Structure 1
Amino acid sequence: MQMIRRFGEPPHDGIKYTLRPGAYAILQQNDRILLTFQDSPFLEFQLPGGGIDPNENVIHALRREILEETGYTIGAPRKIGAFRRFVHMPEYNIWAEKLCHIYYARPALKKGPPTEAGHTSHWVSKQQAISFVANVGDRHFLRRTFRSL
């Protein structure tokens, strides 16, 4: 069985964590990376993506979340890895074990502005993407991806 690397804080004793799988993507066009900025519950840049709904296919969730958070459709998603992190999600009032599936994809078509409240999309350089994203797992996969391209 393959171990999935953890980034961030270890789980705390006495806290019940809810498994929260999600799909996220590194979206590259030329030398620019598309990030989403979320203004609630914390101000932070993130890889676009989010939670996989019950009975939802991971690729469908990835496409849906990216469209909601950036306004873009994507082409040819390719899984590059996964990681776990243990966090409090105040917007859902839960402690979550986030299982983050990371993909690499190309933005395809801009359909309009983000439809998810509190999200804006931003094109940044590779170096800015690495320094802007809020969580260590996202940073790890950005660095690893740019080394391999």
Structure 2
Amino acid sequence: MMRRFGAPKQRNQRYIPRPGAYAILATGQDVLITHQGGAFDEYQLPGGGIDMGESPIAALHREVMEETGWSIRNPVRLGAYRRFTFMPEYDLWAEKICHIFAAIPVRKVCPPLEPDHSAIWSDARTASKILHSAGDRHFVQTYVRDL
């Protein structure tokens, strides 16, 4: 059974499965995270939804580029977790299946392509405290400790 982080599934609420791929991009004890401003105002691991017919690895490369402007290489799957949440930008209740990868940041190609996103280098301890998702915080704490 996949570990759940965050709020439990609400009774009588229909959830749409929403798989996503997210990256821990570490250099030493620093990690590249994103800040999504605007209505969200939260720190996140770079990544996002896997589109229909898209592989998790292709989604990971695309989402990291869109949210940070960085190219990556050598993604390795670390695990996955689920969380139940309302996604106001899509007006839907989602069962997010979050596939977490470690990858090597190669180079900054461009500024973030998504509106209200900025790429931020943070030490792993700080990132593991400020990331919005408890699942993301757990994976950063576990992965960086294992380096």
Normalised TM-score (structure 1):
0.96
Trace 1:1-149 onto structure 2 (pairs within 5 A): 3-149=1-147
Contact 2:29 2:144 in 1 (8 A): no
Q: CA RMSD in A?
A: 0.8
In 2, the alpha carbon distance for the partners of 1:146 and 1:33 equals 9
Q: Deviations over 1:83-139 (max 9, x none)?
A: 000000000000000000000011012101000111000001111111110110001
Q: Could you list the runs of 4 or more consecutive aligned residues of structure 1 that deviate by over 3 angstroms after TM superposition? A: none
Gaps of 5+ in 1: none
In 1, the alpha carbon distance for the partners of 2:54 and 2:39 equals 25
Q: What's the CA shift for 1:143? A: 0.9
In 2, the alpha carbon distance for the partners of 1:40 and 1:100 equals 23
In 1, the alpha carbon distance for the partners of 2:64 and 2:8 equals 28
Normalised TM-score (structure 2):
0.97
Aligned length: 147
Secondary structure of the residue aligned to 2:137 is: helix
Secondary structure of the residue aligned to 2:143 is: helix
Secondary structure of the residue aligned to 1:27 is: strand
Gaps of 5+ in 2: none
Deviates more, 1:57-66 or 1:35-44: 35-44
